[in-house]
């Protein structure tokens, strides 16, 4: 009995400390009219980072409902809030949703369709004058409370019918600043997700009680779910030509990966649906595999698909170039793995360290490329067995042949002689201290000895490694 009650007490303690830990913050950024552009790109500011609007967030598939209030017919339908399209200029009523002139806002509900772990709720607005700022209270619910009302009218306080207040948003600048401009708001919790919710409710009011035309021009509302790639929304009316830049943020670590398919719009859909989730997941992992003292891997890089490039792909600094022709004919096969290989080069950045060191020793190409192919073939896509060497070809195999063959060698050393050989090679290559002695220091055997043993294992795979049945 005593034990039982003790257990309950501990659980309660955890619950209450959980509440204390939750720390919902609201980041607000305002771009004055002369700095605002159709990309809604906001600089960092003391209140936090507001990402650019997304076209792939959880709200893009959600159902938006007008719970209370009247839509202004000079503006767009509710769908303007989650269509992933942005106004191209400051005063473009048809590309925004706003409440009718003379009314004082209203209530919007968002139904995500299922309970979703939400990391951010972001809202965007743009107007040259008083309709720029945003004033609303944000509520959320998982829909489970018995008294839950999915569409409470203005007279009903949401927190009395199954909703939890997440944030009070008020971006009105303090006088004498003009209220016009582009506003981005991000409601987030720096310590983790905001919570698991299915429904959101915005109770929106006019920015100035004395201004009949004071209802905000809302351009987009995003709900970002944990782990989802965020693909940048596009301008409803591109300023010049069919510019299409798709970027997303790879968590954890706040990495920004820009996938540029400006020259190859036919690859955009594949890039968003197939490529982006892999890059988002694997770049932070690869960075984690290749650490060295005082080194920060690039936080932002571009994957550019080139119409004119020959070959497969190449990386220079923080720019990965991909030959569109090769990718088009390998979309179902090696395309994504080829970019994973390039991600390793983005994380490696051995060129920089070579310049920084004094008379640095450059790691040989077979090591640099072998590491990239090791991570690709043996960690990212081992099921493809793309770097296996059959016994018949063991005799010609050379550990320093590069790419897949060196990858096979590195994999063998990792499994049989030194688990962290990749980590050690990385530190030496980046610091400009590589020599073949590293292999001996790590394994007790020279590179040549390791190479011979590896070849023997290829020619005569151990029974344990053979497939049974
Ligand atoms: Zn390479």
Q: How do residues 27-54 score in pLDDT, each as one tens digit? A: 999 998 888 888 899 988 888 889 999 8
Peptide bond into 401 cis (omega under 30): no
Q: Which of 194-198, 243-247, 358-362 has the lowest mean pLDDT?
A: 243-247
Domains of the chain, CATH where assigned: 23-235 (2.60.120.260), 245-464 (1.10.390)
Q: How do residues 103-146 score in pLDDT, each as one tens digit? A: 999 999 999 999 999 999 999 999 988 899 999 999 999 999 99
Q: How far is the CA of 346 from the centre of ligand 1 (A)?
A: 10
Rounded Cα–Cα distance for residues 66 and 87 (Å): 21
pTM: 0.57
Expressed in percent and rounded to 5, the helix, strand and coil fractions of the chain are: 35, 25, 40
Cα angle, residue 216 at apex, residues 226 and 139 outer, rounded to 5°: 40
Q: How far is the CA of 314 from the centre of ligand 1 (A)?
A: 7
Q: How far is the CA of 319 from the centre of ligand 1 (A)?
A: 13
Q: How far is the CA of 374 from the centre of ligand 1 (A)?
A: 11
Q: How far is the CA of 172 from the centre of ligand 1 (A)?
A: 51
Q: How far is the CA of 59 from the centre of ligand 1 (A)?
A: 38
Q: How far is the CA of 7 from the centre of ligand 1 (A)?
A: 55
Q: How far is the CA of 345 from the centre of ligand 1 (A)?
A: 7
**Which distant-in-sequence residues (6+ apart) come within 8 Å of 270 by Cβ?**
331
Q: How far is the CA of 369 from the centre of ligand 1 (A)?
A: 5
The Cβ-side half-sphere exposure at 452, using a 13 Å CA radius, reads: 4
SS (H, E, C) 96-164: CECECCCCCCEEEEEEEEEEEEEEEEEEEEEECCCCCCCEEEEEEECCCCCCCCCCCCCCCCHHHCCCE
Q: How far is the CA of 206 from the centre of ligand 1 (A)?
A: 56
Q: How far is the CA of 376 from the centre of ligand 1 (A)?
A: 10
CA proximity to 248, closest of 297, 302, 287: 302
Q: What is the mean pLDDT of the chain?
A: 87
Q: Give residue 15's pLDDT.
A: 37
CA proximity to 232, closest of 281, 302, 166, 322: 302
CB within 5 A of ion ligand 1: which residues? 369, 372
Please answer whether residues 122 and 53 qualify as being in contact, where contact means their C-beta atoms are separated by less than 8 angstroms: yes
Helices (H), 234-348: 268-270, 276-289, 324-329, 335-348
CA proximity to 304, closest of 344, 334, 262: 262
Q: How far is the CA of 227 from the centre of ligand 1 (A)?
A: 28
Q: How far is the CA of 373 from the centre of ligand 1 (A)?
A: 8
Q: Is 20 exposed, middle or buried (0-12, 13-18, 19+ CB in 10 A)?
A: exposed
Q: How far is the CA of 273 from the centre of ligand 1 (A)?
A: 24
Q: How far is the CA of 403 from the centre of ligand 1 (A)?
A: 8
Q: Give residue 122's pLDDT.
A: 97
């Amino acid at each position: 009995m005593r034990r039982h009650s003790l257990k309950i007490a501990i659980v309660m303690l955890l619950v209450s400390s959980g509440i204390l830990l939750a720390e919902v913050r609201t980041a607000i950024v305002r771009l004055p009219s002369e700095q605002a552009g159709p990309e809604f790109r906001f600089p960092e500011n003391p209140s936090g980072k507001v990402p650019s609007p997304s076209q792939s967030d959880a709200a893009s598939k959600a159902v938006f409902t007008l719970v209370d209030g009247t839509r202004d017919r000079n503006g767009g339908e509710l769908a303007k809030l989650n269509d992933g399209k942005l106004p191209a200029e400051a005063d473009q009523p048809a590309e925004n949703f706003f409440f009718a002139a003379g009314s004082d806002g209203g209530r919007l509900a968002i139904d995500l369709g299922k309970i979703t772990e939400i990391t951010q709720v972001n809202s965007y607005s743009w107007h040259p004058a008083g309709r720029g700022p945003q004033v609303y209270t944000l509520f959320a619910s998982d829909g489970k409370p018995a008294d839950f009302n999915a569409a409470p009218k203005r007279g009903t306080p949401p927190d009395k019918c199954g909703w939890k207040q997440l944030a009070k948003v008020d971006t009105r600048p303090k006088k004498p600043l003009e209220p016009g401009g582009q506003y981005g708001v991000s409601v987030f919790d720096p310590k983790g997700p905001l919570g698991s919710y299915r429904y959101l409710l915005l109770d929106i009011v006019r920015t100035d009680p004395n201004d009949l035309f004071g209802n905000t021009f809302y351009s987009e509302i995003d709900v970002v779910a944990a782990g989802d790639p965020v693909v940048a929304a596009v301008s409803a009316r591109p300023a010049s030509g069919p510019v299409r830049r798709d970027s997303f943020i790879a968590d954890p670590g706040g990495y920004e990966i820009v996938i540029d398919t400006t020259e190859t719009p036919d690859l955009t859909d594949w890039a968003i649906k197939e490529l982006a989730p892999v890059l988002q997941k694997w770049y932070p992992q690869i960075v984690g595999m290749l650490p060295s003292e005082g080194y920060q891997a690039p936080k932002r890089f571009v994957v550019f698909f080139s119409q004119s490039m020959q070959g497969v792909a190449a990386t220079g600094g923080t720019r990965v170039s991909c030959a569109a022709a090769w990718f088009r004919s390998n979309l179902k096969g090696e395309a994504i793995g080829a970019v994973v290989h390039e991600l390793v080069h983005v994380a490696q950045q051995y060129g920089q360290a070579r310049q920084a060191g004094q008379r640095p020793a450059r790691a040989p190409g077979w090591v640099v490329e072998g590491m990239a192919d090791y991570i690709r073939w043996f960690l990212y896509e081992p099921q493809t067995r793309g770097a296996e060497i059959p016994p018949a070809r063991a005799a010609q195999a050379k550990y320093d042949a590069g790419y897949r063959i060196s990858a096979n060698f590195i994999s063998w050393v990792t499994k049989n002689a030194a688990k962290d050989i990749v980590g050690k090679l990385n530190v030496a290559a980046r610091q400009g201290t590589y020599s073949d002695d590293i292999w001996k220091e790590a394994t007790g055997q020279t590179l040549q000895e390791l190479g011979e043993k590896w070849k023997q294992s290829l020619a005569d795979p151990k029974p344990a490694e053979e497939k049974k049945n």
